[in-house]
């Protein structure tokens, strides 16, 4: 029985993770559940999965939590440090980090420090301080298994060869809802249109990031740290059908690909069972129904966010963290209809110009970059 601590349990990945746990209740047990603000759903989940402890970040929602129906001795943590407190209180084999943005940063490092293996959906943590996280994981002897369809694919493909035989990682991108469009088309895009992803059902922030291709930029940085492959050997290729989830090219010219249905429960399950595979029930990919598989180069001049993420990664130091946090603020402003879709790359570009990256950074430098990014992004958003 693997004991799981699930942070971000009420979000899209969190809910699908609980589906996987429900289907394999003989293999996985939930020992802790943490959420940001959906106290009603958290309460329901806690009654169903009987964790030892629960955490809710938004204190104003805490009234909806009723600890009396939780298993005896269960503790409830609330407030801004609730997720980290939950990590400290729980003994788990795997910490599933399904939070969004910088919110998962401290709890992820705390989980590694406690020696828990990590199943990581919160890609911003890797983008913000990937080398520090991977070093900490190596030093503590814990595995970091990605819950991202592309990186789950890469993890499976790289097992076909040795590290020194890898020529390239080929990250596939669906291209999002605006593939083929140009910046002129972006001005009047509504929130509703941007939230309509052609192949995946995901949370709001990542869906917008997929529409701007910023998500693919984060994924390049994520792959760079997870698999220790230089940035210039990570290519992005647009594959609108989202059937091939990514590929690895070896130096003998062989390209290994992983295919599957566009269902996040597949990579979630693999991250939970890794390094083993367990049976999955439900819909599987039927190749006879997939039709044609096509590939295109990404349009970096129309989708500036992808180019910017590469640039931030090349600058390194605190720049990727700064850009990732600035993007959180800018996307939030778009979701709240304060800026237009086309303003997202413009604002990010303006933000990036204002940050002087700290190269040999500490985690405190990351927290400082986070605060600076929020302040600058808010200032620029307000003056738009
Ligand atoms: Mg992905």
Q: What is the pLDDT of residues 334-371, one digit of tens each?
A: 999 999 999 999 999 999 999 999 999 999 999 999 99
How far is it, in rounded angstroms, from Cα 74 to Cα 71?
Answer: 6
Note the pLDDT of residue 67. 79
CATH number, domain containing residue 364: 1.10.1740.10
Say whether both 38 and 155 belong to one domain: no
**Beta-bridge mates of residue 244:** 259
Tally of CB atoms within 10 A around 295: 12
In this structure, the strands spanning 28-35 and 53-56 are parallel
Say how many Å lie between the CA of residue 278 and the centre of ligand 1: 22
Say whether both 227 and 82 belong to one domain: no
Comparing 218-227, 283-292, 345-354, which segment has the lowest mean pLDDT? 283-292
pLDDT band at 281 (very low <50, low <70, confident <90, very high): confident
> In whole numbers, what is the pLDDT of the chain averaged over residues?
95
Report percent pLDDT > 90 for the chain. Answer: 91
Instruction: Give the rounded distance of the alpha carbon of 339 from its chain centre.
Output: 24
Say whether both 204 and 115 belong to one domain: no
Residue 200 lies in a domain: yes
Neighbours of ion ligand 1 (CB under 5 A): 148, 150
Average pLDDT on 275-285 reads: 89
Say how many Å lie between the CA of residue 251 and the centre of ligand 1: 25
Count the helices and strands in the chain (H runs, E runs).
Answer: 16, 11
Q: What is the pTM of this model?
A: 0.95
> Residue 71 is encoded by which pair of tokens?
């298993």
In this structure, the strands spanning 117-120 and 166-173 are unpaired
Domain final residue, candidates 242, 275, 302: 302
**Count of domains in the chain?**
3
Residue 38 lies in a domain: yes
Average pLDDT on 108-125 reads: 97
Say whether both 228 and 139 belong to one domain: no
Domain final residue, candidates 244, 275, 302: 302
Say how many Å lie between the CA of residue 148 and the centre of ligand 1: 5
Report percent pLDDT > 70 for the chain. Answer: 100
Say how many Å lie between the CA of residue 72 and the centre of ligand 1: 39
From residue 169, give the alpha-carbon distance in Å to each of 93, 175, 209: 29, 18, 21
Say how many Å lie between the CA of residue 68 and the centre of ligand 1: 39
Say how many Å lie between the CA of residue 219 and the centre of ligand 1: 7
Say how many Å lie between the CA of residue 202 and the centre of ligand 1: 10
Residue 272 lies in a domain: no
Say how many Å lie between the CA of residue 230 and the centre of ligand 1: 19
Query: Is residue 262 predicted with pLDDT exceeding 80?
Result: yes
How far is it, in rounded angstroms, from Cα 14 to Cα 171?
Answer: 24
Residue 274 lies in a domain: no
Comparing 169-173, 279-283, 294-298, which segment has the lowest mean pLDDT? 279-283
Note the pLDDT of residue 174. 94
Comparing 27-36, 179-188, 219-228, 240-249, which segment has the lowest mean pLDDT? 179-188
CATH number, domain containing residue 130: 3.40.50.720
Residue 270 lies in a domain: no
Say whether both 210 and 170 belong to one domain: yes
Say whether both 193 and 176 belong to one domain: yes
Instruction: Give the rounded distance of the alpha carbon of 352 from its chain centre.
Output: 21
Say how many Å lie between the CA of residue 153 and the centre of ligand 1: 10
Say how many Å lie between the CA of residue 226 and the centre of ligand 1: 14
Say how many Å lie between the CA of residue 115 and the centre of ligand 1: 26
Query: What SS3 class is residue 58?
Result: coil
How far is it, in rounded angstroms, from Cα 107 to Cα 97?
Answer: 8
pLDDT band at 282 (very low <50, low <70, confident <90, very high): confident
The secondary element (H helix, E strand) that includes residue 48 is helix 39-49
Query: Is residue 321 predicted with pLDDT exceeding 80?
Result: yes
Say whether both 134 and 50 belong to one domain: yes
Q: What is the pLDDT of residues 78-94, one digit of tens each?
A: 999 999 999 999 999 99
Q: What is the pLDDT of residues 294-319, one digit of tens each?
A: 999 999 999 999 999 999 999 999 99
Domain that holds residue 367: 316-384
Note the pLDDT of residue 69. 76
Say how many Å lie between the CA of residue 337 and the centre of ligand 1: 25
Nearest to 312 by CA among 228, 235, 368, 231: 231
Q: What is the pLDDT of residues 33-81, one digit of tens each?
A: 999 999 999 999 999 999 999 999 999 999 888 878 777 778 899 999 9
Say whether both 56 and 100 belong to one domain: yes
Average pLDDT on 171-190 reads: 92
Residue 126 lies in a domain: yes
Say how many Å lie between the CA of residue 172 and the centre of ligand 1: 9
Say whether both 203 and 242 belong to one domain: yes
Say how many Å lie between the CA of residue 334 and the centre of ligand 1: 21
Q: Are 31 and 6 in contact (CB under 8 A)?
A: no
How far is it, in rounded angstroms, from Cα 297 to Cα 42?
Answer: 42
Say how many Å lie between the CA of residue 150 and the centre of ligand 1: 5
Domain final residue, candidates 146, 163, 180: 146
Say whether both 25 and 101 belong to one domain: yes
Q: Are 181 and 205 in contact (CB under 8 A)?
A: no
Say how many Å lie between the CA of residue 67 and the centre of ligand 1: 36
Say how many Å lie between the CA of residue 377 and the centre of ligand 1: 25
Query: Is residue 106 predicted with pLDDT exceeding 80?
Result: yes
Say how many Å lie between the CA of residue 246 and the centre of ligand 1: 10
Say how many Å lie between the CA of residue 60 and the centre of ligand 1: 32
Note the pLDDT of residue 199. 85
Say how many Å lie between the CA of residue 311 and the centre of ligand 1: 20
Q: What is the pLDDT of residues 22-35, one digit of tens each?
A: 999 999 999 999 99
Residue 309 lies in a domain: no
Note the pLDDT of residue 72. 76
Cα-Cα-Cα-Cα torsion 269, 273, 277, 278, nearest 10 degrees, comes to: -70
Residue 267 lies in a domain: no
Buried b (16+ CB within 10 A) or exposed e, 152-178: bbbbbbbeebeeeebbbbbbbbbbbbb
Say how many Å lie between the CA of residue 322 and the centre of ligand 1: 21
Say whether both 291 and 383 belong to one domain: no
Say whether both 43 and 137 belong to one domain: yes
């Amino acid at each position: 029985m693997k004991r799981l601590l699930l942070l971000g349990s009420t979000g899209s990945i969190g809910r699908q993770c609980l589906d996987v746990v429900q289907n394999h209740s003989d293999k996985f047990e939930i020992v802790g559940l943490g959420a940001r603000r959906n106290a009603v759903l958290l309460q329901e989940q806690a009654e169903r999965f009987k964790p030892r402890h629960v955490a809710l970040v938004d204190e104003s929602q805490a009234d909806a939590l009723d600890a009396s129906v939780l298993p005896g001795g269960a503790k409830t943590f609330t407030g801004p440090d609730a997720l980290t407190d939950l990590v400290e209180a729980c003994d788990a084999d795997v910490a599933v980090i399904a939070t969004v943005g910088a919110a998962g940063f401290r709890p992820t490092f705390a989980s590694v420090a406690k020696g828990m293996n990590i199943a990581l959906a919160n890609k911003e943590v890797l983008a913000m301080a990937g080398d520090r996280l991977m070093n900490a994981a190596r030093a503590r002897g814990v595995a970091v298994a990605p819950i991202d369809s592309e990186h789950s694919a890469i993890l499976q493909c790289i097992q076909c060869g040795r590290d020194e035989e890898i020529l390239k990682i080929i990250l596939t991108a669906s291209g999002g809802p605006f593939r083929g469009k140009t910046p002129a088309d972006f001005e009047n895009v509504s929130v509703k249109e941007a939230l309509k992803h052609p192949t995946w059902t995901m949370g709001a922030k990542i869906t917008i990031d997929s529409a701007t291709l910023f998500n693919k930029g984060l994924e390049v940085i994520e792959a760079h740290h997870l698999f220790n492959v230089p940035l210039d050997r990570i290519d992005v290729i647009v594959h609108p059908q989202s059937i091939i989830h990514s590929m690895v090219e070896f130096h003998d010219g062989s390209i290994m690909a992983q295919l599957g249905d566009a269902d996040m429960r597949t990579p979630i399950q693999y991250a939970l069972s890794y390094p083993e595979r367990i049976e999955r029930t439900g819909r599987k990919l039927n190749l006879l129904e997939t039709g044609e598989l096509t590939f295109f180069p990404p349009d970096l001049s129309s989708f500036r966010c992808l180019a910017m993420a590469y640039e931030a990664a090349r600058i390194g130091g605190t720049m990727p963290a700064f850009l990732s946090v600035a993007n959180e603020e800018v996307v939030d402003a778009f979701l709240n209809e304060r800026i237009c879709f086309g303003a997202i790359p413009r604002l990010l570009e303006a933000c990036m110009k204002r940050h002087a990256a700290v190269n040999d950074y500490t985690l405190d430098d990351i927290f400082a970059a986070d605060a600076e990014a929020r302040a600058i992004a808010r200032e620029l958003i307000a003056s738009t």
